[in-house]
Chain A
Amino acid sequence: MTTKMFGAPVQRTEDLRLLVGNGRYLDDLGEGAYEAAFVRSPHARARVTGIDVTGALDVDGLVAIYTYEDLSGRVAEPLPLLIPHPALTHGRTAYPLAKEFVNHVGEAVVMVVARDRYLAEDACERITVEYEPLPPVVGIENAHRADRLVHEDVPGNCAAHLVQEVGDAPAAIAAAPNRLELRLDIERSACMPMEGRGVYARWDAADASLRVYTSTQTSTGVRAAVAAKLDLPLDRVECVTPDVGGGFGVKIVHPWPEEILIPWAARLLDHEVKWTEDRREHFISAAHERGQLQTVRVGFDDDGRLLGLDVEILHDNGAYTPYGIIVPIITSTQLLGPYKPGAYRVDFRSLYTNTVIVTPYRGAGRPQGVFAMERAMDAIADHLGKDRTQVRAINFIKPEEMPYDHGLLFQDGRPLIYDSGDFPASLDALKKLVGWDEFEAYRAQARAEGRRVGIGVACYVEGTGVGPYEGGHVQIETTGKVNVATGLTSQGQGHQTVFAQIVADELGVPLEDVTVTTGDTRRFPYAVGTFASRAAVMSGNAIALAARNVKAKALRIAGEALEADPRDLEIVDGHVRVKGSPGSSVALGTVAVLSNPLRYAFDEASQAATQLTGAADFSKPPVAEDDEPGLEGRDYYSPPTATFANGMHAVIVETDPDTAEIRILRYCVVHDCGHLINPMIVEGQVHGGVAQGVGGALYERMEYDEHGQLVNASFMDFLMPYASEVPKIEIDHLETPSPLNPLGIKGAGEAGVIPAAAVFASAIEDAEGFPIVRMPIQPSELFHLRKRFAAGEIPALRRGADHAAGTHR
């Protein structure tokens, strides 16, 4: 048998080019292209009253200057609202270039095209835009108060108001023996891929066709949008995603203004045009996420069992809603985690502010939801004087209750039904890994040394692999080499490797004979995109199904050649052979030759397939009626519902009694994403997610001042963790396979980041003895909280005083 590739920590094929400087990222393409730069609004809210470009006209190398007035056809219309929803009653999107109003600092007003970027920026500096500044709306509370409006025609600044309920939560809470209310606050962060956005367009005038390269998470989405905006037939537009230097969600948004404007200008100028985002542009004109205010009301019995849960969320969606209300919908549904909430009511308002748009960032609303639920769990445990893991366990959905229907609608508009998971087993594994039961002894020892430590725990469930579908194409060449294509894109997840692993196993070919292409509409034109931890689940299964089709065809053709029943055949190391009789075999490449009847031979091997050689069966046409030439297959995977991965994290922190510095002593992860295709890659995903979680919990925030200026819009001031800030991560895997798909897999991409804010709040609170309700938390904030606590402005945890006795956690 060929060595099984599925499940093996195979080294990545991508690395061979990425490690030697041969990666092809967006800005590595298009030498000789004109380059674009943008004049962007310096005001958070203003009316554009005049644009004077005369100062720029003499700039050496200037090619063109465009303002809104120059835009033509559908390019002059607002950008599409990608995901409409009945509750999104007041969706608004921007124009590619500001028409009359600007609604956040960084909104594009003028596009300059020049011989290179230096010169384009020279011209931008010499363009004068006159603004009539208007008072901006900044901050969720201000947006909700709505003394001022972002969009004059959106009352209350409210883009959407959605309530979902199961049972009568307010009544259940009112009748409960115990009640608590929490007010929680999470600030903004952002994806911050190391490579920003970028677009490069080539117009072929003779062919009337366009090729767009873009650093995106959805090449098919961009292609459709560009074709529609530029009024081109779909078959005249190709979209190719080169190597992408990280996405984390921001690059799923499309079409960005630049993704329309650059192709539009390339056609107009009949010349290649490129735009590469710089870091400041990424801060002020891409997207952020996370900002929410939450009010959680919970009723529970004396064991800590939830009886009713009522959550109100104020969600900051920024200036526009191109991506709809996916983020707050995910918060409201994934908040439930591994628990049965009793009666549940969730009410969110998605609010406009004069800030950068808010669209999914790895985790996509889940970190906020988990924060709400897990803060509530800790509060319940504290209220009842119980161990925090005990309260969680009593509320778990049990393995025997799967599939479990929450009675809600998920982000894909389909029922929220958990398919699998063993939460008690996960919690046991985590407690063992972190040494939960031994922690009080450790705390006592630390205290004796004058150190302050705390432990935290947080659990989550993640709906992964949402539809509608992905597809795969598998083709065996006459050389025996295998070409695989799928439409979704890659941003570093190692798709070329894991999809090759799947195909190598399904077809029985060596891994190195398999080449995978992703995100290229020339190769696979039907796809959705890479988000929601869906690539392995969706494309992995589609490719497996396509490979099975190809295998069936190969066995059929080989059966004819070997005069054997296809059921008696197997493929080993690229050869079809009779089981138990390895001498009787035919190479897959030869099968590929035979699959395609030829008139013209192109090499020695292909002579076998020409019409005048060999014996022919004159009763049949060369290609049977129900057959197609070629040894290839295509298939799609479209699941009825998402598949639900889960995990639990624990962290031990030490807080400095004097400086309030927060040090991570241990970080433990138990993770269940079903069968692992490549454990090395899954662990890498978890590591990276946790690092972003650490950043979001302890360092990163978008600091807007009252004027709507983002005052920390650089890597100098926005504190992303370096190696010195990220702990060593200890991981234990559980594998409860998904019953929903042929490979039994669930998504893994976002997991690591999801419970981080919650688990740090839990641990810091445990160390300090007073509630933590606002994230992120930097040493200065903790320092001030301590002062307020000492002044009696913050109540102590009930267990605070018990720490020395070590009775409760």
Chain B
Amino acid sequence: MTETQIPTEQRLDIRLNVNGVLRTATVTPRRLLSDCLRHDLGLTGTHVGCEHGVCGACTIRVDGKPMRGCLMFAVSAQGHEITTVEGLADADGTMHPVQQAFRECHGLQCGFCTPGFLTVVSAFLEENPTPTEEEAREAISGNLCRCTGYQNIVKSVLRAAEITHERRAEQAEGDAR
């Protein structure tokens, strides 16, 4: 009963700028960006929790802005700068202030939703480097976490802002010397 033809899928060679590195992959047009990052490029730090854009676990930064990786096709990510959780730390391995803060404040338990929170918060703090507790809570209210009850994530956001300032102050001091 093969009255419906099953077309062989078109495969496209794409070039993606991920964490400052130009990467290539061969994908079908329907390949989700989250799947491409995870399974074609091996960047499994981006997690998939619902595949319908609600949970936020797959959040990455596209040209700096937080985006759901499961709501984008890999082919449409060409020409954009993508940052995943693997790209947050410094090249020398120093954790991003947000990563350090999550550890200090116990902002994660199972860690599955965490990469989505880290990318969201890193973008948020660039826009609002001195958030109030309320603003911090608001900023993370688009991501689901089933473990932490969010309290320590809110704390982590505030602590990350502090760490950022501390590091800047240290650097300024170092530059002055």
B-binding residues in A (CB < 8 A): 11-12, 14-16, 18-25, 27-28, 31, 52, 54-55, 58-60, 116, 118, 122, 126, 191-195, 243-246, 248, 278-279, 491-494, 680-681, 683-684, 686-692, 714-716, 720, 722-724, 726, 728-729, 752
Question: Which residues of A sit under 8 angstroms from B138, Cβ to Cβ?
Answer: 723-724
Supposing A58-B2, A244-B110, A245-B111 touch, asked if A25 and B141 sit within 8 A by C-beta, the answer is no
User: How many residues from B make CB contacts under 8 Å with A?
Assistant: 62
Which of A54, A60, A680, A729 interacts with B1 by CB under 8 Å? A54
Q: Name the CB-closest residue of B to A9.
A: B106
Q: What B residues does A278 contact at CB under 8 A?
A: 51
Contacting pair B152 A687 (CB below 8 A): yes
Contact yes or no, A245 B95, CB < 8 A: no
Candidates B44, B54, B110; contact of A28 at CB < 8 Å: B44
Are B109 and A492 closer than 8 Å at their CB atoms? yes
Complex partner residue of A31 from B42, B108, B110, B152, CB under 8 angstroms: B42
The verdict on B66 contacting chain A, using a C-beta distance below 8 Å, is no
Interface centre among A24, A54, A493, A687 (most CB of B within 10 A): A687
Q: Which of B45, B54, B99, B154 contacts A714 (CB 8 A)?
A: B54
Q: Which residues of A contact B50 (CB under 8 A)?
A: 279, 714-715
When C-beta atoms are compared, the residue in chain B nearest to A20 turns out to be B89
Report the Cα distance A246→B57, complex, angstroms. Answer: 13
Q: Is the CB of B111 within 8 A of A14?
A: yes
Most-contacted residue by chain B among A54, A278, A723 (CB, 10 A) = A723
B47 an interface residue at 8 Å Cβ cutoff? yes
Q: A715-B144, A723-B154 are in contact. Are A15 and B108 (CB under 8 A)?
A: yes
> What is the CA–CA distance of A21 and B57 in the complex, to the nearest angstrom?
12
Q: Is B69 an interface residue (CB 8 A)?
A: no
Q: Which residues of A are found within 8 Å of B140, using beta-carbon distances?
A: 722-723
Say whether A688 contacts B99, CB under 8 Å: no
Q: Are A195 and B47 in contact (CB under 8 A)?
A: yes
Chain A residues contacting B118 (CB-CB under 8 Å) are 19
Which B residues between 33 and 49 are near A, CB-CB below 8 angstroms? 38-39, 42-49
A449 to B148, CA, bound (A): 35
User: What residues of chain B lie closer than 8 Å to A680, measured between beta carbons?
Assistant: 106
Q: A18-B114, A25-B112, A60-B8 are in contact. Are A195 and B49 (CB under 8 A)?
A: yes
Residues in A with CB closer than 8 Å to B150 are 687, 691, 722-723, 726
User: CB-CB contacts of B121-157 with A at 8 A, as 1s and 0s?
Assistant: 0000000000000000110111111111111111000
1/0 contact string of B84-97 vs chain A (CB within 8 Å): 11101100000100
* Complex alpha-carbon distance, A54 and B6, angstroms: 13
Nearest CB on A from B173, distance (A): 26
The reply to whether A722 and B143 form a contact with Cβ atoms under 8 Å apart is yes
List, in ascending order, chain B residues with CB within 8 A of A715's CB: 49-50, 52, 54-55, 144
A105 to B99, CA, bound (A): 41
Main secondary structure of the interface of B (DSSP, over half): loop
Interface residues of B in 66-81 (CB under 8 A from A): none
Given A492-B110, A720-B146, A726-B150: A11 in contact with B103 (beta carbons within 8 A):
yes
A248:B85 contact, CB within 8 angstroms: no
Closest CB-CB distance, B104 to chain A, in whole Å? Answer: 6
- Can you list 6 residue pairs at the A/B interface with Cβ under 8 Å? A19-B99, A58-B2, A60-B6, A279-B51, A714-B50, A716-B52
Q: Is B28 an interface residue (CB 8 A)?
A: yes
- Given contacts A194-B49, A248-B146, A681-B106, 15 further A-B pairs with CB under 8 A are A19-B85, A19-B114, A20-B85, A21-B43, A28-B38, A31-B39, A54-B1, A118-B30, A126-B6, A194-B110, A195-B49, A279-B52, A692-B146, A715-B54, A752-B149
CB-based contact B109/A194 at 8 Å? no
The complex places the Cα of A393 from the Cα of B89 at a distance, in Å, of: 53
Nearest 5 A-B pairs (CB), nearest first? Answer: A21-B45, A492-B110, A245-B112, A687-B149, A18-B111
| Residue of A27, A244, A493, A729 with most partner-chain B CB within 10 A | A27
Contact of B148 among A244, A691, A720 (CB under 8 A): A691
* Alpha-carbon gap, A368 to B94, bound state (A): 47
CA distance in complex: A54, B148 (Å): 48
- Set of chain A residues within 8 Å of B6, measured between Cβ atoms: 58-60, 122, 126
B-to-A contact residues, CB < 8 Å: 1-2, 4, 6, 8-9, 28, 30-31, 38-39, 42-52, 54-55, 57, 84-86, 88-89, 95, 99, 102-104, 106, 108-115, 118, 137-138, 140-154
State the Cβ distance, B163 to closest chain A Cβ, in Å: 13
Q: B1 to chain A: closest CB distance in Å?
A: 5
Q: Which residue of B8, B43, B108, B146 contacts A193 across the interface (Cβ within 8 Å)? A: B146
B86-A21 in contact (CB<8A)? yes
Q: Is the CB of A15 within 8 A of B112?
A: no
Check B84 against A21 for contact (C-beta < 8 Å). Answer: yes
Whether B38 lies near A27 (C-beta < 8 A) is yes
A248 to B148, CA, bound (A): 12
Cβ–Cβ contact A684 & B146, under 8 A: no
CA distance A14 to B147 in the complex (A): 15
Residue among B8, B43, B49, B148 with the highest chain A CB neighbour number at 10 A: B49
**Contacts A55-B4, A691-B148, A714-B52 hold; do A194 and B102 have CB atoms under 8 A apart?**
no
- For the complex, give the distance between the alpha carbons of A191 and B110 in Å: 14
Q: In the complex the two chains form, is A724's CB within 8 Å of B141's CB?
A: yes
A21 to B45, CA, bound (A): 4
- Choose one: B8, B45, B110; the contact of A491 (CB below 8 Å): B110
Give chain B nearest CB distance to A714 CB in angstroms: 6
List the B residue with the shortest CB-CB distance to A52.
Answer: B1
Contact across chains for B103 and A19 when beta carbons are under 8 A apart = yes
Chain A residue contacts of B146, Cβ below 8 A: 191-194, 246, 248, 688, 691-692, 720
Q: How far is the CA of A243 from the CA of B113 in the complex (A)?
A: 13
With beta carbons under 8 angstroms apart, the residue of B49, B102, B137, B153 that contacts A724 is B137
* Bound CA–CA A380/B137 (angstroms): 39
A19 CA / B89 CA spacing, docked (Å): 10
Residue of chain A at shortest CB distance from B44 = A28
Is B151 in contact with A729, judged by CB distance below 8 angstroms? yes
Residues in B with CB closer than 8 Å to A681 are: 106
A18 vs B113: C-alpha distance in the bound complex, in angstroms? 10
| A21 vs B113: C-alpha distance when bound (angstroms) | 11
The docked-state distance in angstroms from the alpha carbon of A246 to that of B86 is 21
Given A192-B146, A720-B144, A19–B109 Cβ distance below 8 Å?
no
Which residues in A have their C-beta under 8 angstroms from that of B48? 27
Q: Which residues of A contact B113 (CB under 8 A)?
A: 194, 245
Taking a contact as CB atoms under 8 Å apart, the answer to whether B149 and A15 are in contact is no
Asked if B109 and A684 sit within 8 Å, CB to CB, the answer is yes
Whether B2 and A55, one on each chain, are in contact in the complex, defined by CB atoms closer than 8 angstroms, is yes
Are A246 and B84 closer than 8 Å at their CB atoms?
no
Chain A's nearest CB lies how many Å from the CB of B158? 13
Nearest B residue to A687 by beta-carbon distance? B149
Tell whether, in the assembled complex, residue A722 and residue B147 are in contact, meaning their CB atoms are under 8 Å apart: no
When distances are taken between beta carbons in the complex, the residues of chain A under 8 Å from B154 are 723
Please report the C-alpha to C-alpha distance between residue A665 and residue B102 in the assembled complex, in whole angstroms.
26
B149→A195 contact, CB < 8 A:
no
Q: Is B108's CB under 8 angstroms from A18's CB?
A: yes
CB distance from B93 to the nearest CB of A (A): 8
- Shortest Cβ distance from A114 into chain B, in angstroms? 13
| Cα distance A52–B2 in the bound complex, in angstroms | 12
The answer to whether A19 and B108 have CB atoms under 8 Å apart is yes
- The verdict on A691 contacting B43 (CB below 8 Å), with A194-B57, A246-B112, A722-B141 known, is no
Contacts of A492 in B (CB 8 A): 108-112, 147
Cα(A394)–Cα(B167), bound, Å: 56
CB distance A25 to B47 under 8 Å? yes
The answer to whether A20 and B99 touch (CB under 8 A), given A195-B49, A684-B109, is yes
- Report the minimum CB–CB distance from B112 to chain A (whole Å): 3
Residues in B neighbouring A28, C-beta threshold 8 A = 38, 44
Q: How far is the CA of A20 from the CA of B109 in the complex (A)?
A: 14
Q: From known contacts A28-B38, A59-B6, A60-B6, infer whether A688 and B147 are also in contact, taking CB-CB under 8 Å.
A: yes
Query: A18 contacts which chain B residues (CB < 8 A)?
Result: 108, 111, 114
Bound complex: CA A58 to CA B8 (Å): 10
B103 to chain A, nearest CB (A): 4
* A714 cross-chain contacts in B, Cβ below 8 A: 50, 52, 54
